[in-house]
Amino acid sequence: AAGVIQSPRHLIKEKRETATLKCYPIPRHDTVYWYQQGPGQDPQFLISFYEKMQSDKGSIPDRFSAQQFSDYHSELNMSSLELGDSALYFCASSLGTVYNEQFFGPGTRLTVL
């Protein structure tokens, strides 16, 4: 069965650089969630989209932005990277507005040097 795809899997950036993380949800899933998991931490909700519209927003820095495109894939754009942005970034997808199970991708490990 198709799963959530995230690219790249690993990314190394310097401070103050920008990064773009991509998420391709399971086919026919219309909802995407982004989470950030710092070292030894629990995943923290960043932002979500339903049908290409932002549906919820969590503890996402103003330096980050995200969107969902017409094919339902999503991109998380991160600018002015800081050392503290080093983390595992997960994307999850689900189907519909009534809560359904979120399927998680393998994550993108971002390292900021």
* Interacting residues toward another protein by CB under 8 A: 4, 31, 33, 35, 41-45, 48, 50, 55-56, 58, 90, 92, 94, 97, 99-107, 109
User: Do the beta carbons of residue 87 and residue 35 sit within 8 Å?
Assistant: no
d(CA 5, CA 24): 5
When the beta carbons of 81 and 108 are compared against another protein, the nearer one is 108
- Of residues 38 and 82, the one with the C-beta less far from another protein: 38
What 3-state DSSP class applies to 84?
helix
Cβ 7 to another protein, closest distance in Å? 14
Residue 99 neighbours by CB under 8 Å, 6+ apart: none
Provide, rounded to whole angstroms, the least separation between the CB of residue 107 and another protein: 5
Please report, as a single letter, which amino acid is at residue 36. Answer: Q
The minimum distance between CB 27 and another protein, in angstroms, equals 18
